[in-house]
Structure 1
Amino acid sequence: MTAETTETADEAPLLDPESHSSGFFDDPRWALAVIRATVLEAAHPQIGAALIDNSTFVAHPWRRLRNTVVSMRRMFDTDPATREREAARLNRLHARINGSDSRGRTYDAMDRATRAWVIATLFESAVTMFRMSGQPLDQHTMERMYGQYRAYLAALDGDASELPEDLNDFWRYFDQVVENELENTEAARVILYRLFDHLPAPALLEGTPTLWAAGRAVVGPLLGAITVASLPETYRRRAGLPDMPGAPTLMRSAYLAAGLTRFLPDSWINPENIIEALSLSPDSDDPRARTVTALRTRMKRASALLRLLTPLSSDTHPAPTPSAGTEDSRRSAQEFFHRVLDQTGDGQLDWPDLAAMARELSTRFDLDEPEETRLYDSFATWWRELQAALDTDGDGRISAEEYAHAIPTLAGPALIRVAEVLFDATDKDGNGSIDANEYRTLFRTAFHRDLTTTDGTYGRSAFVGDFLSFMAGRRMGTPYDPLLADA
């Protein structure tokens, strides 16, 4: 390997502008490759257990997708300071994730060998992506790319020693892990068979359940079949994954078709633009919101037409959108539990759910220490308060039934402290009030139209009151819905 392939994160961009990998993030084929890599990651027992216990990818997949795209762009940024800062943030995040699986085996997101496997799946899936779409990489290009992915690992761990230095040794390492360590984990099964079947609609398609359900019913199984067909045969055999007739042909056709879309205008296939458009709220001050709102209106008309043409059960019809200020604008305790509190989607409330809220807020603000730890600590105190008040059977978790039967008032001292810490994080200049720019950083929209302000600012008491109203009053249609409740 040349010296270029062993450059560290401090010396050069992780992705060489002249390499194939520099355009990954805007290549539609990369979406298929990332799904494949995620399944291979989830099939590792440690990673699978960590995902099931701590990740929001089931309940909030669109939010998780956006954060992943943003993080990877930062890690492959041309500015060394940006890469170092993101690596430090990821290390703090991973240091908070540890536990044990259902078989009593421990997991730790800071385990070096496990982190190396994550990078290995990304590199191997990138190579597979080119091969499946009829553009196999030559040896020299693969070596350059492999060096860049080892540099990615070095940026996180300080060195890349957990991955073989030589590319030929890497393939033996990869085969050995697939053969001896991967399992048919619950997380891998969720991604392959449940995630797409139950994928919640993004904000753009809210209010069009019929159209979304119809599209998902077709696309979900197809994506599952394509992903299974692309996995290493050794893993498919060990995991007992079915070989569907025609799946290999379908897989190659999907990669070829995705590759053709790269000739579309860059703005059409930029993943950040697409994700932002899918998640824009109607009252956003983003210039794209008007176009998105018009598109949403057309989607609703198409959904209504589909309902007329297709016999559907009554539960597919959307519930009326409540008006603010009415009793109907209050969520039931059960709905609030599942949409807001149960961030991991496992039907229980425990510390990983509140940690996920802290993680999302820390990511939104791009917090450094000690502000990040301060936010996590406030949520940890709130969890202890909730556990003491609501965990009636003493199992260390709070069920939806325990929550609903208690009919709790959540606005205790610990939740008030969470609101105050959140206000301080939002109030970047520390002047005691939140201006329009600071508000936009948190909510990604302008001042809410129902927000009463006298001087164009948002004071501490009003902010804390609104946050407590959302968390304790379970009111819908607030700026906090896209932040903590939406998928």
Structure 2
Amino acid sequence: MFGPGSQFHELFDDPRWALAIIRATVLEAAHPQIGAALIDSSTFVAHPWRRLRNTLLSLQRMFGADDHTRQREAARLNRLHARLNGADARNRSYDALDPAVRAWVVATLFESAVTMYRMSGQPLSQEATERLYAEFQAFLAALGDDSGHLPPSLHEFWSYYDRVVEEELENTEPVRIILYNLFDHLPAPPLLHGLPAVWAAGRAVAGPVIGAITVASLPEPFRRRAGLPELPGAQTLMQGAYLAVGLARLLPEGWITAEGVSDLLSLSPDSDDPRARTITALRDKMKRAAALIRLITPLPPEPEPAADGGMRRSAEEFFAEVLDQTGNGYLDWPDLAAMARELSARLDLDEPEESRLYNAFADWWRELQSALDTDGDGCISAQEYAAAVPSLAGPALIKVAEVLFDATDKDGDQTIDADEYRTLFHTAFLRDTAGTEVAYTRSTFVKDFLSFMTGRRRSTVYDPLLADA
């Protein structure tokens, strides 16, 4: 059911899977409970590339050959989902551990995979479809859910799927964001930082096309109920896109993998990764192209460097890029929980270290709320933050830094060595600490963390961790 030789293993590195994932995400977001959880707690708006990278890593762990890794990832996902519950704008409760909701997530992935093959002119055989369905049932069972929440047979699945589509799905706010706003404002991945003109030009073309393709691929009953217009020629465009992307499968094996593409998109050009040299040469050529584009569409000037060579943020920039992790315009607990979630994932924490980090961020949130929430509405606006920036550096934030240091210092020797440093920051240790001591001490770590979280200074290590998309 898992690992090399499985139906999913072949699917994972199929470039068409990217289009199928977008489609599945829209169908997930259309479920009222999932839509509410996304709008309250997800970072998919402000940090879409990070969310995509983490999703791919999670799927890779769950469908890999290592059973121990799968069990640890399932436990991590269950802890993560246990923290996602609340009520939507219509006061309907949601719970990310609801077995029926989790079954729908798996159902959308399976159905979108089957649809992907069909739209590419290569429909799966009955035997292959049943095998793939069994693998997704096993995936749900690996999470600890009763497999009965998905119909036991493939024949029964289609009736279940049609019923949910026709009776339960809604045109939720996350659906509208994904289809009509996300791609229009999608930030550049780290690979294309410093090339805003090139990225903006490509996004302006690709965004509407991806939106049109996705809408055209959705089930007709849902499009009709949700009032999603299908552009003339969209069906032909959609099938052409699946066929064109599918041609990448003809490349030699190993040339295109989901992990490789994800790593490349998140690769910083100044990294010590050998691929960075190629990226640097490519960026030089792209910058020349960007110069031509800027002649047609001038962009605002880039920020001026500070006197000490650093790059400062305004309070508004820091609030939007670092604090407002969910991108909803204000700071509340889900934003800090998202930071804890990202740090826990980077460090691959188990209990009780994970809960200790979450608790430290929860204490910081209570301290922030007490100091900055002047109107008592339960959240902090950008204006409230800007008016009291020094209040960020309280005892609770220092505690967050110390807990993070302890979680990173795996061997407990009170220093962070090169391997521990890379685990947290996913970057090169020797370059970033050039001219300093080889070991990263507790006091230096805490000082740097506080400087980043309070001083609004851009950082080559902390920006990719908490600010990059």
1:54 deviates by: 0.4
Aligned to 1:8: none
Superposed CA offset, 1:252-276 (max 9, x none) = 0000011111112344321221121
Q: Distance in 1 between matches of 2:103 and 2:15?
A: 25
1:173 corresponds to = 160
What CA deviation, in whole Å up to 9, does each residue of 1:85-121 have, x standing for no partner?
1000000000000011111011000000000000000
The amino acid that maps onto 1:460 is R
Q: Secondary structure at the match of 1:107?
A: strand
Structure 2 residue 329 is the aligned partner of structure 1 residue 347:
yes
Q: 2:183 touches 2:208 (CA, 8 Å); kept in 1?
A: yes
- Supply the distance in 2 between the matched residues of 1:235 and 1:450 (Cα, whole angstroms): 50
Shift of 1:168: 0.5
Counterpart among 12, 16, 23 of residue 36 in structure 1: 23
Q: Which residue of 2 aligns with 1:319?
A: 302
Q: Which amino acid aligns with 2:211?
A: G
* Residues 450, 171 of structure 1: alpha-carbon distance in 2 compared, 3 angstrom cutoff: closer
The aligned residue for residue 7 of structure 1 is none
Secondary structure of 1:280's counterpart equals coil
Cα pair distance change 1:211/1:318, threshold 3 Å = farther
**Are positions 1:14 and 2:2 aligned together?**
yes
Query: Residue in 2 aligned with 1:98?
Result: 85
Residues 438/238 of structure 1: CA separation in 2 closer, same or farther (3 Å cut): same
CA distance in 2, matches of 1:266, 1:404: 52
Residues 376-403 of structure 1: per-residue CA shift (max 9 Å, x gap): 0000000000000000000000000111
Whether 1:435 aligns to 2:422 is no
Question: Residues 322-344 of structure 1, C-alpha deviation per residue, up to 9 Å, x if partnerless?
Answer: 25725x72211110000000000
How many residue pairs end up in the alignment? 469
Question: Secondary structure at the residue paired with 1:161?
Answer: helix
The corresponding residue for 2:316 is: 334
Q: Deviations over 1:316-374 (max 9, x none)?
A: 24514625725x72211110000000000000100000000000000001100000000
CA distance in 2, matches of 1:485, 1:266: 35
Partner deviation per Cα, 1:297-329 (whole Å, 9 max, x = no partner): 222221112222x2x2x5x24514625725x72
1:279 alignment counterpart: 266
Q: What displacement does 1:207 show?
A: 1.5
Alpha-carbon separation, structure 2, partners of 1:130 and 1:450: 45
Partner of 1:212: 199
Q: Residue 466 of structure 1 aligns with which residue?
A: 448
Q: Distance in 2 between matches of 1:177 and 1:407?
A: 47
Q: CA deviation at 1:65?
A: 0.6
Contact 2:402 2:446 (8 Å CA) reproduced: yes
Moved more, 342-351 or 157-166: 157-166
CA distance in 1, matches of 2:148, 2:32: 21
Identity of aligned residues (%): 71
1:49-69 per-position Cα deviation (integer Å, ceiling 9, x unaligned): 100110000000001110000
Deviation at 1:283, TM superposition (A): 3.2
Alignment check: 8 A CA contact 2:368 2:391 kept? no
Aligned residue in 2 for 1:121:
108
Matched, 1:252 2:239: yes
1:80 aligns with 2:49: no
Partner SS for 1:99? strand
SS at match of 1:269: coil
Rounded to whole Å, the distance in 1 between the matches of 2:160 and 2:260 is 37
Does residue 124 of structure 2 align to residue 137 of structure 1? yes
In 1: Cα distance, 2:262 partner to 2:352 partner: 30
TM-score, normalized by length of structure 2?
0.97
Map Cα deviations across residues 138-177 of structure 1 (whole Å, 9 max, x no partner).
1111111111100000111343110010111000000000
Counterpart amino acid of residue 231 in structure 1: L
2:399 maps to which of 384, 394, 417: 417
Give the unaligned 5+ runs of structure 2.
none
- In 1, the alpha carbon distance for the partners of 2:34 and 2:172 equals 9
- Residue 208 of structure 1: CA displacement? 1.4
**Is contact 2:371–2:391 with CA below 8 Å preserved after alignment?**
no
Assess, with a 3 A threshold, how the Cα gap between structure 1 residues 293 and 331 changes in structure 2: closer, same or farther.
same
Taking the aligned partners of 2:5 and 2:342, their CA distance within structure 1 comes to 34
Greater shift, 447-456 or 84-93, is seen at 447-456
Deviations, residues 236-288 of structure 1 (Å, cap 9, x unaligned): 00000002100000000000011111112344321221121122223322222
The change in CA–CA distance for 1:453 and 1:419 in structure 2 (over 3 A counts) is: farther
- 1:374 maps to 356
State the shift of 1:19 in Å.
Answer: 4.6
Which of the residues 342, 352, 357 maps onto 2:339?
A: 357
Quick one: which of 291, 312, 315 aligns to 2:278? Answer: 291
Change (3 A) 1:293 1:477: farther
Q: Which amino acid aligns with 1:302?
A: A
The TM-score normalised by the length of structure 1 is: 0.94
Query: CA separation of 1:205/1:321 partners in 2, compared to 1, >3 Å: closer, same or farther?
Result: farther
- The Cα RMSD (Å) is 1.5
Deviation at 1:472, TM superposition (A): 0.8
